[in-house]
Amino acid sequence: MTVFTHRGGEYLTVDDASLYYEQLGAADAPALILLHGGLGHIESFNAITPHLARRWRVIGIDSRGQGMSTLGGAPLTYARMQHDAERVIDHLALERVTLIGHSDGGIVALRMAAS
């Protein structure tokens, strides 16, 4: 499968939220994290995931309160979204990642790059 389907992914509990993520491509390929925009979900990347999965281990994360991820009780901020993405990266034991984000996901990617 080379597109996100919201079936067969995994959940990671971060604080009081469950974050949903899916992976495409070879497990030993370089990691590429996709961060979607506000009110979106990982399937918004499906036009490009078949191409990306040829070279990358593509990991799509549904942001807190969007897609299949739950919101939890804390306020939704860019800092929290950054923390969530970093916890998924830690959980997957990824030492090096490339980030692609648009809209809110782009802000999170920029925050991660700056830190």
Q: What is the pLDDT of residue 110?
A: 98
Domain borders along the chain are: 10-114
Contact partners, residue 110, CB within 8 Å, separation at least 6? 101
CATH number attached to the domain at 10-114? 3.40.50.1820
Q: What is the pLDDT of residue 1?
A: 75
Q: What is the pLDDT of residue 39?
A: 95
pLDDT tens, per residue, the chain with 115 residues: 799 999 999 999 999 999 999 999 999 999 999 999 999 999 999 999 999 999 999 999 999 999 999 999 999 999 999 999 999 999 999 999 999 999 999 999 999 999 9
Q: What is the pLDDT of residue 9?
A: 98
Buried b / exposed e across 52-76, counting CB within 10 Å, b at 16+?
A: bbeebbbbbbbbbebbbbbebeeeb
